[in-house]
Amino acid sequence: MRASDADRDIVLRTLGEAYAEGRLDREEYDERSDAVAGAKTLGELPEVLADLVPTSAVVPYVGAGALDTRSIEEQAIAKWEKGRREVLMGFLVPTLICWAIWLAVGGGFPWPVFPMIATAIPFLHSVVQKKDIIESNKRAIVRRQEREMRKLQKRQLPPPS
């Protein structure tokens, strides 16, 4: 069966990932890319990836590094709460210092309102965008977990024959 452009694109993306991960040097990447570009049939494409992708199904690692959905949610919320505490302190500390200075010099024009507004923006963003921030944290946790699992799977795979 003839190879389509979409088939070649999939193989080229896989080669690009292997190159980015350091599993191929520039020469190997160029040679294999040229072979993919010149491939006429689907049968020619697997040869290019033979030593880069597993030929059998990889069993996901379930152990100390793996997280269930609840743990991911809890970690994402904990990260958001930590960030919220940090921006809250970034608001409170300068605000209290500015108002204390204002009182110490005898009042007058309430200039501490300006730094107060500037430091309140990140805190308000954290509160208003809570759901989006937590979802972003979840995606980051899952990506990190997947990277760790791929590293473990690479160690568990037998060397290519």
- Single pTM value for the model: 0.51
**Residues 80-99 pLDDT 10s:** 999 999 999 999 999 999 99
pLDDT at 57 exceeding the cut of 60 = no
* Identity of the residue numbered 79: K
Q: How far apart are CA 131 and CA 49, in angstroms?
A: 40
- Domain spans in the chain, listed from the N-terminal domain onward: 5-49, 69-156
pLDDT at 63 exceeding the cut of 50 = no
- Average pLDDT of 122-139? 92
Q: How far apart are CA 140 and CA 16, in angstroms?
A: 22
Q: How far apart are CA 56 and CA 146, in angstroms?
A: 19
Please, where are the H alpha helices in 21-67?
26-38, 45-49
